[in-house]
Amino acid sequence: MRLLITRHGQTDWNVQGKAQGRTDTNLNETGIHQAKMLAEKLMDYKIDVIISSPLKRARKTAEIIANGRAIPVFCDEDIIERSFGKYEGQQLKHDDFDAIKRSGEIGVETDDEFLVRIKRFLKGIKKQYQDKTVLIVTHKGTALGMCCYIEELPICKENTGKYKIDNCSILEYEI
């Protein structure tokens, strides 16, 4: 299976450096433009299915990419962004996230809980779409987790920091 992973287009919270997590923010004008540019770039790709996080910023990105093409778009809760509980909406640096995930705070998703979702999702689509090209429209944290899982690396800042996942960038894998 050919797996294409993209991060949703830009939101105002991305610009402000705020942790979005499960907070359901919208794309801003730049994010809509980024999604349209990505859609143009992906016109040369044969994509069989698009699977999106159900959050608005990812869904809208997926809809823009699929617009005018006969590609089904499905939402899957397993690729929603990680929950950061009370830390959502706060300005955080990349280094803050490891401490937050280990904090034990109610509402913060642990690495173990997160990996259960990622494994379940990737195993399911690999079985269902084994000879297809699948585009995943998700979030930075989820994309980083997928990359680490596919490459059999622990999820930690040393590993996640090596991936460049800008808004509407593409990572490609054969799995």
Note the pLDDT of residue 128: 97
Arithmetic mean of pLDDT, 93-97? 76
From the list 8, 88, 109, 139, the catalytic residue is 8
The answer to whether the predicted template modeling score (pTM) of the entire model surpasses 0.75 is yes
Note the pLDDT of residue 14: 96
Note the pLDDT of residue 163: 80
Q: Name the domain count of the chain.
A: 1
Arithmetic mean of pLDDT, 3-16? 97
Arithmetic mean of pLDDT, 82-87? 93
From the list 29, 63, 81, 151, the catalytic residue is 81
What b/e sequence results for 108-133 when a residue is b if at least 16 CB atoms lie within 10 Å of its CB, and e otherwise? Answer: bbebeebeebbeebbeebeeebeeeb
Note the pLDDT of residue 105: 86
**The domain that contains 120 carries what CATH number?**
3.40.50.1240
Given a contact cutoff of 8 angstroms between Cβ atoms, the answer to whether 13 and 145 are in contact is no
pLDDT digits (tens, 9 = 90+) for 40-62: 999 999 999 999 999 999 999 99
* Domain carrying residue 149: 2-174
Q: pLDDT at residue 98 above 90?
A: no
Q: Name the H helices within the chain.
A: 12-16, 29-41, 56-66, 96-101, 111-128, 140-150, 157-160
Q: pLDDT at residue 106 above 90?
A: no
Arithmetic mean of pLDDT, 118-147? 96
Note the pLDDT of residue 111: 85
Q: pLDDT at residue 158 above 90?
A: no
- Does the annotation count 94 as an active-site position? no
- Does the annotation count 174 as an active-site position? no
